[in-house]
Chain A
Amino acid sequence: MVTYAQLWRADPARWRAAGAAWARLAADVGRRAAELGAVAGRVSDGWRGAAGSAAGGHVRALRAPLVAARLAFVETDQVLAGFASALTRARGMLAAAVAGAAPAHVEIDRMGRTAPDVSVTGIDRVAALHAADRVGTEIVVALAAATNADRETAAALDRLAAAAGAGWPTAPPRHRPAAGASPRSVREWWAGLTSAERRWLLVHEPLHVGRLDGVPVAARDQANRALLAGWRADLVRERAEAVRTAMPRHAAVSASLRLVGLISGIDAVDARLSAETGERAYLLSLVPEGDGRVVLALGDPDRADNVLAYVPGMTADLTAVRDDLARTEAMSARAATVDPAQRTSTVLWLDYDAPSHLGEAVFATRAHDAGPGLHRFAEGLRATHEGPPAHQTVLGLSYGSLTVGATASSTGLSADNLIFVGSPGVGVDHASALGLPASRVWSTTAADDPIAYLAPGWQEPFNRLGAELANPFRPDLRPHPNEDLWFGPNPSNPDFGAQVFTSDPGGHSGYWRADNDALTDIARIALGPEHQSQVE
C-alpha cells in the first residue's frame, strides 16, 4: 500500500520524463531499423549473384526485431505516461482532502491519520468527528488509487520485460475479421489474438491496424507513430520530384506548396506527440494525401472517464492543424483544471474532407460524406473502452457542427452529448431530431460571430420587407442574428430546443480563448452531469 508520505513525495513529472526517454529510444531504434533497410538495398550495388541476394535478405531480416522493439518502447512510454497521469490525479485527490481538513477543524498526522483538532475550542465535536472520518476516507481513496496504479504499472512493465527477454516474438494471426466488420467485431477479434500475433500485425501491417476502428487506441498509436517518419520522407521526396519535373512552372509551385503544408502539418503533429507536458498524445490516424487528415487524442480515450471529440469546420486540414491542435489542447487543459480527479481525453477528429473555402462550404455534401466515418469512429471508441462506458461528447465547430448534426440525424452518433459552436445550422429543424434527448444537445454562438448572420440569400428580401412593414418610415436594416441559417434553424436560438450557453464576444474563432467562459462551459459539459448544472 502506498503511504501518505510516499504519495506526497511522488513526482509524476519524473515518470513522464522517463516515458519520453523511452519514446526517444523508440524513434532512435526506428531510425536504425530504417538504416538497416537502406544497407540491405545497397548491398546489391556491390554484390550481384546468389550470395549477394542472400546477403541482402540477411541484412533485411535484422530489421524485424528492431521494429518490434520500437513498438514495445512506445508502449512503455504509454504505460509510464498513464502512471504519471494516475499519480497526478491521486495527488490532486490527496491535496483536495488535505485542503478540506483545516476548515473542518480536522488534524492530519504524518501517517495520514485524521482526528478532530483539539487545539480549537468551542467547536462542534460530533461534526468534527464526522469531518475527520470524511477526510480520512478521502485520503484512503487517494492512496488506494495510487496503489492500484502502481500495481497495474508494475504488472504492465513486467509483461514488457518478459517480451523483451523473449526477443519480442511475432506470429502471423490465425484469423482475421471480415472486411467491413463492425468496430465491436474488430475489438473481439483483437482481444482473441495472442500478444505475438498482435505484435506481428503491428510490425507487418501498421497501415492497416493503425486506422482500424475497434483496435485499441494504444495499439493504433504504436502503429501510426511507426509510420510517421516514413510518411514525411515520402512527402519530401515527392516535393523534390514535383519541383524537378512538373510543368508548367505554376503547377510545380502549387504542388510544392501543398506538400510543404503537409510536411509542416506532420511536424506539428510530431511535436505534440513528443511533448512532455499536457496529456500524452495518441495518434489514431493520419492520411498524408490531398489536404491531409488526422485523428489525435490527448489522453487515452480507452481509459478515460470522459471523451470529448472535436470536429473542426471549413479550412481544417493537416496543413493547418496547429490551430485545431491548440483548440484541442485548450479543452483538454480546461477539463483537467475544472475536475483534476477525472480522466478526460480530448480528441481532434479531422478525418474528413472539410471545405477549403466558402464555395465548397455552401453545400452540405462534405458533411454528409463524413457521416459514416464519424459514426464508425464513435462506435469504435465505445467498443475499445475499458471498464464502464465513458461519458462521450462530440463537439462541432462551424461547418463541423453540420457534420456532427448530419451524422447524428442520419446514421446516428454514439454520444451522450452534442455541442455546436458557431454553427451555420446542423441540418435538422429541432434538437429532438438528433437521436438523443434535446436536454443533451448544447449550442453557443457569440453575439459578434458573423456565422449568425449567414441566412440563405433568398430570405434577404423577406427580411427587408419585414423590417419595412414593422416600421415603414425608419426600417431597421441592421443585420440581426437569424433564426434560419444556411443549413437550417440556428441551434443557438431557443426555438431549436438545445441547451444554449453563452460565449464572450470573440468572433468566429474566439471560443477557445483562455478568458472566454464558453471554454469552461464546454469542459463542464464534457465532464458530465455533475458539472453540467453549472453551465450558463
Chain B
Amino acid sequence: MDGDLRVDPGLLRDRATELDLVARALACGPDDLCVPAPDWAAGASLAGLAGEVSSALGAAAARVAHSGGLLRDAARSYEEADLRAAIRLHRVG
C-alpha cells in the first residue's frame, strides 16, 4: 500500500464499458476469411484455421469481458464498503 487510495466507481464503470465494447468487437469476426474450394487442400486447411481463430478470438473476447466484470465488481464493492462504513458510523452516532 502506498497510502494513496482514491476510487471513482463511476470512472471504473466507464472503463468496464470500454472493455465490453472491445470484447464485442473481438467476438464479431469477419465472414470472408475462407475460400470455398473443397477440391484444394489449402481450402480445407484455411477453413480449419478460421475455426481455430474464431475460437481463440472468442476466448480473448471472453477474457476481456471478464475483466470488465472485475472492474464493475470492484466499483460495486467499494460502494458497498463505503455504505457499510457509513451505516456503522451512523449507528455509533
Would you call A25 and B1 a contact (CB within 8 A)? no
A-B contact pairs, 22 of them (CB 8 A): A14-B35, A21-B30, A29-B57, A35-B22, A42-B15, A43-B15, A46-B7, A46-B8, A46-B9, A50-B1, A59-B19, A62-B67, A65-B60, A69-B56, A76-B49, A154-B42, A154-B44, A157-B45, A157-B48, A164-B55, A165-B55, A165-B56
Would you call A150 and B29 a contact (CB within 8 A)? no
Q: How far apart sit A327 and B30, CA to CA, in the bound complex (Å)?
A: 34
With both chains docked as a complex, state the minimum distance between the C-beta of B2 and any C-beta of chain A, in angstroms: 7
- The yes or no answer to B11 lying at the interface (CB within 8 A) is yes
Across the interface, name the chain B residue whose C-beta is closest to A5: B39
For the complex, would chain B's binding face be called helix, strand, loop or mixed by DSSP majority? helix
Would you call B46 and A80 a contact (CB within 8 A)? yes
Chain B CB count within 10 A is highest, among A28, A47, A150, A151, for: A47
- The yes or no answer to A255 lying at the interface (CB within 8 A) is no
Q: How far apart sit A273 and B1, CA to CA, in the bound complex (Å)?
A: 48
1/0 per position for A43-84, CB-CB distance to B under 8 A? 101111111100100110010011001001100100010010
Q: How far apart sit A59 and B49, CA to CA, in the bound complex (Å)?
A: 27
Given A55-B70, A62-B63, answer yes or no on A22-B45 (Cβ-Cβ < 8 Å). Answer: no
Would you call A39 and B74 a contact (CB within 8 A)? no
With both chains docked as a complex, state the minimum distance between the C-beta of A73 and any C-beta of chain B, in angstroms: 8
- The yes or no answer to A172 lying at the interface (CB within 8 A) is no
6 further interface pairs, Cβ-Cβ under 8 Å (given A66-B26, A161-B48): A21-B33, A29-B26, A29-B57, A42-B11, A47-B7, A48-B5
1/0 per position for B51-86, CB-CB distance to A under 8 A? 111011101100110010011001000000000000
Complex interface residues of chain A between 5 and 19 (CB less than 8 A to chain B): 6, 10, 14-15, 17-18
How many contacts A-B (CB < 8 Å)?
140
* Chain A residues within CB distance 8 Å of chain B: 2, 6, 10, 14-15, 17-18, 21-22, 24-25, 28-29, 32, 35-36, 39, 42-43, 45-52, 55, 58-59, 62, 65-66, 69, 72-73, 76, 80, 83, 150-151, 153-155, 157-158, 160-162, 164-165, 167-168
Would you call A157 and B46 a contact (CB within 8 A)? yes
Q: How far apart sit A153 and B37, CA to CA, in the bound complex (Å)?
A: 13
3 tightest A-B CB contacts, nearest first: A46-B11, A157-B45, A154-B41
With both chains docked as a complex, state the minimum distance between the C-beta of B47 and any C-beta of chain A, in angstroms: 9
B residues contacting the other copy or chain, number (CB 8 A)? 49
Q: How far apart sit A18 and B32, CA to CA, in the bound complex (Å)?
A: 6
Would you call A36 and B12 a contact (CB within 8 A)? no
Contacts of A80 in B (CB 8 A): 46
Partner of B22 from the list A39, A58, A65, A83 (CB cut-off 8 Å) is A39
Q: How far apart sit A32 and B63, CA to CA, in the bound complex (Å)?
A: 13
Given A29-B26, A154-B44, answer yes or no on A49-B49 (Cβ-Cβ < 8 Å). Answer: no
- The yes or no answer to B25 lying at the interface (CB within 8 A) is yes
Would you call A49 and B2 a contact (CB within 8 A)? yes
Across the interface, name the chain B residue whose C-beta is closest to A80: B46
Partner of B15 from the list A18, A39, A48, A154 (CB cut-off 8 Å) is A39
Would you call B52 and A24 a contact (CB within 8 A)? no
* Chain B residues within CB distance 8 Å of chain A: 1-2, 4-12, 14-15, 18-19, 21-22, 25-26, 29-30, 32-35, 37, 39-42, 44-46, 48-49, 51-53, 55-57, 59-60, 63-64, 67, 70-71, 74
Q: How far apart sit A35 and B67, CA to CA, in the bound complex (Å)?
A: 14
Would you call B19 and A39 a contact (CB within 8 A)? yes
Contacts of A29 in B (CB 8 A): 26, 57
Would you call A15 and B30 a contact (CB within 8 A)? no
Q: How far apart sit A21 and B32, CA to CA, in the bound complex (Å)?
A: 6
Would you call B52 and A83 a contact (CB within 8 A)? no
Given A43-B71, A47-B12, A65-B60, answer yes or no on A18-B33 (Cβ-Cβ < 8 Å). Answer: yes
Partner of A47 from the list B11, B32, B41 (CB cut-off 8 Å) is B11
Across the interface, name the chain A residue whose C-beta is closest to B6: A48
With both chains docked as a complex, state the minimum distance between the C-beta of B25 and any C-beta of chain A, in angstroms: 6
Would you call A22 and B15 a contact (CB within 8 A)? no
Contacts of B5 in A (CB 8 A): 48-49
Given A25-B33, A48-B6, A69-B56, answer yes or no on A157-B49 (Cβ-Cβ < 8 Å). Answer: yes
Would you call B67 and A58 a contact (CB within 8 A)? yes
Given A24-B30, A25-B30, A161-B52, answer yes or no on A62-B60 (Cβ-Cβ < 8 Å). Answer: yes
Across the interface, name the chain B residue whose C-beta is closest to A33: B22
Would you call B25 and A17 a contact (CB within 8 A)? no
Would you call B32 and A164 a contact (CB within 8 A)? no
Would you call A62 and B45 a contact (CB within 8 A)? no
Partner of B64 from the list A36, A47, A76, A167 (CB cut-off 8 Å) is A36
Contacts of B22 in A (CB 8 A): 32, 35-36, 39
Contacts of B71 in A (CB 8 A): 43, 55
Given A49-B4, A164-B52, answer yes or no on A83-B42 (Cβ-Cβ < 8 Å). Answer: yes
Given A29-B57, A69-B53, answer yes or no on A158-B48 (Cβ-Cβ < 8 Å). Answer: yes
Contacts of B4 in A (CB 8 A): 48-49
Q: How far apart sit A153 and B35, CA to CA, in the bound complex (Å)?
A: 13
With both chains docked as a complex, state the minimum distance between the C-beta of B37 and any C-beta of chain A, in angstroms: 8
Would you call A22 and B33 a contact (CB within 8 A)? yes
With both chains docked as a complex, state the minimum distance between the C-beta of A52 and any C-beta of chain B, in angstroms: 7
Across the interface, name the chain A residue whose C-beta is closest to B17: A39
Partner of B53 from the list A10, A47, A164 (CB cut-off 8 Å) is A164
Contacts of B40 in A (CB 8 A): 2, 6, 10, 150, 154
Q: How far apart sit A165 and B34, CA to CA, in the bound complex (Å)?
A: 18
Across the interface, name the chain B residue whose C-beta is closest to A168: B56
Partner of A46 from the list B15, B30, B49 (CB cut-off 8 Å) is B15
Contacts of B11 in A (CB 8 A): 42, 45-47
